[in-house]
Amino acid sequence: MDSQSPRIEVLGSFRVSSGGRLIQLSHAGEHVLALLALARGPLTRERVAGTLWPDVDRGLSQARLRSTLWRLGSERSLILETRGNALMLPQVSQVDLYDAERLGQALVSAIPTGFEAEKLLTLFGQDLLSDWYEPWLDIEREIYRETRVHALESLARALIAKGQYFLAIRACMEAIRCEPYRDTSHLLLVEAYRAEGNPGAAMSHILRYKETLWDELRVAPGRILKNLEAELVT
């Protein structure tokens, strides 16, 4: 891939660069590129304008899009392509989200030999555009959150098997941060505590989780966690 190919980063904070050079864009320009990255393909100008400026009429939203594209200036040909009425990222673009999704799907099947747990924890510890609050991001965050939590759980299992309990506990906690009410992530954390010889921490976590579930959702944890609690008591 050409070293000058644009790289768009949407995990954590938004960044776009080319050949190691950070490209500065307007707030609206960042939103156009992020939307196209999440679309994974071309979008019509009307779709882009309507998504980014839903509270104004069609004519004004399209005028804002034209202004935004004009303000890209000399960078436009590097980071954006047009095909008729459609906008898209250049085919040579690199997007960190795509890399994370591919890796996350691979981790569910098999943890690679010699994997670097710290790097994986850093990667999957980042939410999608965490400092943005646009409604059109909600469903994309939910989709990526599923990838993250499954990858983190797979990583935790591998780390428990390798005896790397501290990192396993971190992976479990990151998974819980993604999905606070997911029993399987809490179960893995309890298993990690037990494996490192910390039954007190395991029991303490079960009790806190039970209390949280009841206080916030009025539900009880699943059968396996209940069985683990009973096992720890005896």
Q: Write a three-state SS string for the chain.
A: CCCCCEEEECECCCEEEECCEECCCCHHHHHHHHHHHHHCCCEEHHHHHHHHCCCCCHHHHHHHHHHHHHHCHHHHHHHCEEECCEEECCCCCEEHHHHHHHHHHHHHHCCCCCCCHHHHHHHHCCCECCCCCCHHHHHHHHHHHHHHHHHHHHHHHHHHHCCCHHHHHHHHHHHHHHCCCCHHHHHHHHHHHHHCCCHHHHHHHHHHHHHHHHHHHCCCCCHHHHHHHHHHHC
Residue 202 lies in a domain: yes
Structural domain for 158, as ranges: 97-233
Over residues 7-35, the pLDDT tens digits come to 999 999 999 999 889 999 999 999 999 99
> Do 123 and 23 fall into the same domain?
no
* CATH code at position 111: 1.25.40.10
User: Which pLDDT score, from 0 to 100, does residue 2 have?
Assistant: 57
> Are both 87 and 101 inside the same structural domain?
no
| pTM of the predicted model over 0.75 | yes
Each residue's pLDDT tens digit, 114-123: 778 999 999 9
Same domain, residue pair 84 and 116: no
| Mean local confidence (pLDDT), 196-203 | 93
User: How many domains would you assign to the chain?
Assistant: 2
Task: Kindly report, residue by residue over 144-164, the tens digit of the pLDDT.
Answer: 999 999 999 999 999 999 999
Q: What's residue 88's pLDDT?
A: 97
What is the tens place of the pLDDT at every residue in 38-89? Answer: 999 999 999 999 999 999 999 999 999 999 999 999 999 999 999 999 999 9
